[in-house]
Each structure stands twice: as C-alpha cells, then as structure tokens.
C-alpha cells in the first residue's frame, strides 16, 4: 500500500469546525486501512494538547504517541479547503492527516514540510487536481 491513495485526496472541502475536519481526515485513514478506528480519537486528543496547525495555511493532524499501536501502515490523507477553514484562530487551506509507523512519521513530516515550504505551494494546492496532488506527494508522474 502506498503512502497516499488518490481516494484519500478530497478537493473543494467547505469550512467546518476543526474537530469535524480531524474526524473526516481520520476516517479517510481508517477506511483506507492505514489505521484502526481508535486512531481518530487519538488525533482529536493530540489537538487538545497542542495545535497541529503549522502555519502557512497548513494543519497536520496526527495521533498521540500512545496511539502508535493503532497504526497498521504509514499513510496520509489530504483535504483541500479552497476558501479555508478556521483552525483555532488561523485560517488553513490544506489539512493532511498523518499516520506513521514507528519513526516513519518524522520522515513523512519532513517530506511534507519540504514540499510545502514555499508559500506559493499552498496556493497551488488549493487549485490542483487529485492527480497533481497525488504526483506531488508520491513523486510519481
């Protein structure tokens, strides 16, 4: 199974409470076989301890450390909010749910940070197709 499946890329999302967004992105990870359903609650718990908004219009929700046991395989799910959605007190446009086996989550985070380091990268994602986003994160053409 790949790190990202095209079915885990959702475009044109509408603004909603961040808890609902976390549940949705977590459900994508669960339904595609990356995590057990308990991982969704662990993602919500992580958000309570510190915001997963990393700035530049990006949020990276993921589970708390003790939820590692609920991860079957490393994977990500991407939700694009063209008009943005509030994340605490900041607007985010790209939400990437992350499940990383062992220390793989650090590699996944570093890869995402590298891909989205330029401010225009987030703007580009807001209007990208599923195929373009898939290729960007998987390195495939």
Residue 49 phi, psi (nearest 5): -85, -35
- Quick check: 107 and 137 in contact, CB under 8 A? no
CA-based nearest residue to 60, from 1, 119, 104, 113:
113
Q: Which of 18, 23, 46, 62 is catalytic?
A: 62
CA 97 to CA 27: how far, in whole Å? 10
Query: Is 62 among the residues known to form the active site?
Result: yes
Question: Between the CA atoms of 30, 20, 137 and 56, what dihedral angle is there, to the nearest 10 degrees?
Answer: -150
- Quick check: 101 and 107 in contact, CB under 8 A? no
> Active-site residues: which are they?
62
């Amino acid at each position: 199974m790949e790190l990202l499946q095209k079915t885990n890329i959702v475009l044109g999302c509408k603004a909603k409470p961040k808890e609902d967004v976390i549940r949705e992105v977590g459900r994508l990870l669960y339904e595609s076989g990356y995590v057990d359903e308990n991982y969704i609650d662990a993602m919500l718990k992580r958000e309570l301890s510190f915001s997963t908004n990393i700035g530049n219009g990006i949020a990276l929700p993921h589970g708390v450390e003790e939820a590692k046991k609920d991860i079957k395989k490393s994977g990500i799910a991407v939700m694009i909010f063209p008009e943005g959605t509030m994340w605490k007190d900041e607007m985010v446009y790209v939400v990437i749910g992350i499940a990383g086996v062992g220390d793989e989550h650090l590699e996944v985070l570093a890869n995402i940070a590298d891909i989205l380091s330029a401010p225009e990268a987030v703007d580009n994602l807001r209007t990208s197709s599923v195929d373009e986003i898939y290729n960007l994160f998987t390195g495939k053409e």
